[in-house]
Amino acid sequence: MRPRLRTIVISLLTLGLLAYCFRKADPADVWAETRRADPGLLILSVVITALTYAIRAFRWQFLLAPIGRTRYRVAFETTVIGFAANSLIPGRVGEVLRPYLLARRESLNATSAFATIILERALDLAAVLVLFAVFVFVSAPDAIAGDPGQLALVKFGGMVAAGSAVAQRIVPWRLSRRPLHDGWLSRVLGQDRVAELGA
């Protein structure tokens, strides 16, 4: 498809999706709520969102490094496209579109690029669990109302979740830093099985 025609098709598709999303919205109400918004907070939200995409693109480059070299500009552009697709199209299509576009532009394996998205989501989940545990243990006692017994159970669950999330990151990293035939792994699985894994 020619670049000019592709731009027209994408623009029409974007307008169509926006029209679909706002089909039940009252333009007057939307404009009234927009005028009541704090301009400073709106600008701050845009800056923070752009910074989030920039950091995500940098992290994605790091995750993609084992399968090939990628340009930061391409990682950033496809990240923005993917999250825009998630906002406009149901089913989180952007999670599939993002690695596909990057793999096509950087001549990488699309399946391997998609695997990095799964790893990225695992890292996000680990960060959420750790933040949840920090909130539960650091927040003031009167900030969380409810049954003390239930709160103790929530704290225990937060501790277990955060501990498992950290362990799931540390154990693979630790194993990757040591030869498979070295240490406790060879004693648990046996030398022959470890040799197969290392092959």
User: What's the chain's average pLDDT?
Assistant: 77
Q: Which residues contact 164 (CB under 8 A, 6 or more apart)?
A: 129
Confidence of residue 4 (pLDDT cuts 50, 70, 90): confident
**Comparing 129 with 113, which gets the higher pLDDT?**
113
Would the pTM count as exceeding 0.85?
no
CA distance 105 to 108: 8
Q: Which residues contact 107 (CB under 8 A, 6 or more apart)?
A: 68
Tell me the mean pLDDT in the region 160-165. 76
CA distance 180 to 188: 11
Q: Return left, alpha or beta for 85; rule: phi > 0 is left, psi -120 to 50 is alpha, else beta.
A: alpha
Summarize pLDDT for 35-68 with one digit per residue, the tens.
888 888 889 998 999 999 999 999 999 889 888 8
Helix axes of 148-176 and 110-138: crossing angle, nearest 10 degrees = 140
> For residue 168, is pLDDT > 90?
no
Confidence at residue 165, expressed as pLDDT on a 0 to 100 scale:
72
> For residue 181, is pLDDT > 50?
no
Confidence of residue 145 (pLDDT cuts 50, 70, 90): low
Confidence at residue 57, expressed as pLDDT on a 0 to 100 scale:
93
> For residue 90, is pLDDT > 50?
yes
> Taking the domains of the chain in order of start, what are their residue ranges?
1-21+37-123, 139-199
**Comparing 43 with 157, which gets the higher pLDDT?**
43
> For residue 88, is pLDDT > 90?
no
Q: Which residues contact 160 (CB under 8 A, 6 or more apart)?
A: none
